[in-house]
Amino acid sequence: MPRFLKPLALLALIALGLFAYTQVMMRVGSGTPPPMAADSEQADTILVDKSDRRLTLLRGNETIATYHISMGANPTGHKTQEGDERTPTGTYEIDWRNENSIAHLSLHISYPNADDIAQAEARGVSPGGSIMIHGILNGWGWLGPLQTYWDWTNGCIAVNNKQMREIWSLVPNGTPITIQE
């Protein structure tokens, strides 16, 4: 084998291994979620500032934690229809959680609300849905430190997997979330 082909063969083997690993991890799911924090430690409000790319957990007026986030690939403005890759703005709530999602754990945001649905219907489009706070896609967790360098979701709010585990434990279902520009 010519000398210059050896590094290429090694690179191809590594790429094939990573691909196989991610395919397996995507089928496995997120894994066991962490236990919920004590009620006295849980957030009672989530505030997302899209312009600062920050998600803040609050209890009363006290900040519990702040996270740098990634959003939809077209983050400016309110989500108006399926496929626009925007993160919605407005007040919603965390209404359910998925420990077996395609990304490391996920908390569902109650988008679309009645107004979102009515506006989309008036334009003859689907408002979209399945907007979540989630970690990195299963099998790609090692990209965690890099994930905030670009907006890569389809409208969701993403953090690294360690942060997602913390958020999961601190945010009960029913927690209001306000997403602002």
pLDDT per residue as tens digits for the range 62-121: 999 999 999 999 989 999 999 999 999 999 999 999 999 988 999 999 999 999 999 999
Q: Measuring CA to CA, which residue among 109, 104, 122 is closest to residue 155?
A: 109
Range 5-180 has CATH code 2.40.440.10: yes
Better pLDDT: 163 or 144: 163
Q: Which long-range contacts (CB under 8 A, 24 or more apart) does 114-122 make?
A: 115/90, 116/79, 116/88, 116/90, 119/80, 120/80, 120/81
Q: What is the pLDDT of residues 10-69, one digit of tens each?
A: 555 455 444 544 444 444 456 689 999 999 999 999 999 999 999 999 999 999 999 999
